Amino acid sequence: MPTQSSWYLQDRIVLVRAIGKLTTEEMLADDRTLVTSFLNKTPAEKVYFIFDNSKATASPPIWAFRKLKFHKHPKAAWTVSFGGNKFINFMATIAAQLSNRHLRLFSTLDDCLAYLKQIDESLLDLLPVDPVGNSA
């Protein structure tokens, strides 16, 4: 099943939920969605990404991550991730290093949000308010 992406915080933070076994084709299709439906349409200068891997069971091969384009977009800022198993976290770390992507791994969503508030003070007044119905 592909990922499910939505604004966690409108025009600032995208929440991407990976469910089950993600294929290379699904990952690349989701990558195009992140660029066309989120990054290209927001007026914000910086967009952060939170990846929820708590329901992911398998990851595409490492070479597939090199084809991702969302993190190269001028508006793409940090990516934070939580909930992945050890293998998925290992794959994400290697992929981030190969592509010079800003990535931090955490145990919980709350840890991800705390980190984003630490690196971007403009989020302090906006979080943990949950404008789109996600549990913070």
CATH of the domain at 29: 3.30.750.24
Structure letter (DSSP) for residue 44: -
8 by Cβ neighbours in 10 Å (0-12 / 13-18 / 19+) ranks as buried
Q: Which helix (H) or strand (E) holds 45?
A: none
Q: What is the pLDDT of residues 101-134, one digit of tens each?
A: 788 889 999 999 999 999 999 998 877 654 444 4
Residue 115 belongs to a domain: yes
Quote the CA–CA distance of 66 and 78 in Å, as a whole number.
17
**Domains identified in the chain, total number:** 1
Query: What is the average pLDDT value for the chain, to the nearest integer?
Result: 86
Least Cα distance to 95 among 75, 116, 71 occurs for 71
- Residue 11: pLDDT band with limits 50, 70, 90: very high
Residue 131 belongs to a domain: no
Q: What is the pLDDT of residue 133?
A: 47
Residue 130 belongs to a domain: no
Q: Which helix (H) or strand (E) holds 75?
A: none
Domain hosting residue 103, numbered range: 4-123
